[in-house]
Structure 1
Amino acid sequence: MNIAHKQMLVELKKRQRTGNAYFSNDSYLSSGHHYYDVSVPDRRAIAKAWLKENQDISNKEFFAVLDSLYKGKSHEEKTLASILLGYNKRAREAVSTNQLDKWLNELVGWAEVDALCQSVFTAEELLADWKEWERFLRTLAKSKNVNKRRASLVFLTGAVRQSGDARLQKLAFQNIDTLKYEKGILVTKAISWLLREMIGRYERAVRKYLKENGETLPKVAVRETQRKLETGKK
């Protein structure tokens, strides 16, 4: 275990709310990983404090810390790694998709996957290296690992909200097409989420896509997207 990882694990245990660690098997966490019940605000505070004390850390050293955290036994260690990455723009610009793929191997369930994929990377960062991100997200959509298939959609949720770039729209619809026949909730709800996030900048395209594909899309995705189109509410 990396030394910095050990230090942050001590901080996590100090902030344990229940006093009893357990395994996270509820419908949101659903990872089966050890769970210390440390709040997200507390995890963010730990990340900010550590980064403040280690501002000059090299990317190589930083990635070693993340490697160790992602391989940790608990939900909090894994999500703390993603929080740290979200706070380190320099590291995000340097990280490879190959490294991200390895980290995804350690993540299970909605909460862990989404912590890395939902809003860590901006649309600007994806578009700056678009050919590689496009290749990576297409590959994830065809993975045997359902968590990676979810990631192929969730990585785009923040980007389509931030940018109206046609490349994001095109890939979003293509990955949805690849996955729309799946029945598992990890994927069906991610399809719904991505379609709803697209409404802000791509409403006309979403309406057209829904009209042409409504019979083959997951019912939950159709229902929730139509509701947002009609009411503007989630």
Structure 2
Amino acid sequence: MALADLALPEKAAFFPRFFKAGKGEYAEGDQFIGVTVPDQRKVAKEFRDKISVEELSEVLSSEIHEHRHCALLILVAKFEKSKDSSEKEAMVSFYLQHRKHINNWDLVDNSCYKILGRHCFDKEDHRILEDLATEEDLWSKRMAVVSTMHYVKRGEFDLMKKLVLKNLNHPHDLIHKANGWLLREMGGKNEAELLDFLKKHYRKMPRTTLRYAIEKLDESIRQDFLKGRI
């Protein structure tokens, strides 16, 4: 595969630590060959029109992390290019059917809002994301909230806030971080919306979520939230 020609041994040694693939970690057993994301994007661009969605199934089922990530980059590129609604529906179904292989934060974050988020927003039907948020699987929950990025970028915050609250006190910090990240993005679009949300909920937030959410606020306001003065 084209990715093998771009593999770097030093990256192959580093990535398992970076992506927490060690024993007992959330990506235990994931395998890496050491291809950087910029190089994966080059391969995805090259193969977007050369490989079918059906053929992507084998790549997305690979044990190699970079294979799965590159397959998702290709799927996103195909989805964004397509003007055919039935074709796009098929890609959404493909994505959901293969989500057991979308099992690390980068795989989720670089694909879900560009496919699921855009699809649900355009259809004005949020049930896919609401259902994912109720699943026990860590990656499904992260997929649900990160998919609302498409909504947030367009100034719609209600679904994101609903899903953040649904899993606000989930035990895993990858959900805390995702929740805080989406809240911060909302603040970038509308700071008043963020402040209103935080005033109501910050005292029961995990500290990581709060720190992510307030990262771009003025230092005096940040300290007020961190020290519970609001």
8 Å Cα contact 1:24/1:33 also seen in 2: no
Question: Identity of aligned pairs, percent?
Answer: 22
Distance in 2, Cα, partners of 1:49 & 1:97: 22
Q: TM-score if structure 1 supplies the norm length? A: 0.79
Measured at CA, do residues 110 and 203 of structure 1 come closer, stay the same or move farther in structure 2, by a change above 3 Å?
Answer: same
Counterpart of 1:6?
none
Confirm whether residue 143 of structure 1 aligns to residue 135 of structure 2: yes
Q: TM-score if structure 2 supplies the norm length? A: 0.80
Measured at CA, do residues 123 and 144 of structure 1 come closer, stay the same or move farther in structure 2, by a change above 3 Å?
Answer: closer
How many residues were matched structurally? 210
Distance in 1, Cα, partners of 2:32 & 2:108: 15
Structure 2: gaps (5+ residues): 22-26, 223-230
Letter in 2 for 1:157: M
Distance in 1, Cα, partners of 2:109 & 2:118: 19
Most deviating of 86-95 and 220-229: 86-95
Distance in 2, Cα, partners of 1:11 & 1:207: 47
Compute the displacement of 1:204 (Å).
Answer: 1.5
Confirm whether residue 128 of structure 1 aligns to residue 122 of structure 2: yes
Aligned counterpart for 1:199 among listed residues 166, 176, 187: 187
Greater relative CO, 1 or 2 (CA 8 Å, sep 6+): 1
8 Å Cα contact 1:29/1:110 also seen in 2: no
Report the secondary structure of 2:129's partner residue.
Answer: helix
Measured at CA, do residues 130 and 96 of structure 1 come closer, stay the same or move farther in structure 2, by a change above 3 Å?
Answer: farther
Report the secondary structure of 2:135's partner residue.
Answer: coil
Distance in 1, Cα, partners of 2:36 & 2:190: 35
Structure 1: gaps (5+ residues): 1-9
What is the Cα-based RMSD across aligned positions, in Å?
2.7
Distance in 1, Cα, partners of 2:180 & 2:214: 10
8 Å Cα contact 2:177/2:212 also seen in 1: no
Distance in 2, Cα, partners of 1:108 & 1:124: 20
1:97-116 Cα shifts (integer Å, max 9, x gaps): 44322222112221222232
Runs of 4+ in 1 over 3 A off after TM superposition: 19-25, 27-30, 94-98, 121-126
Distance in 2, Cα, partners of 1:85 & 1:20: 24
8 Å Cα contact 1:29/1:109 also seen in 2: no
Compute the displacement of 1:22 (Å).
Answer: 6.3
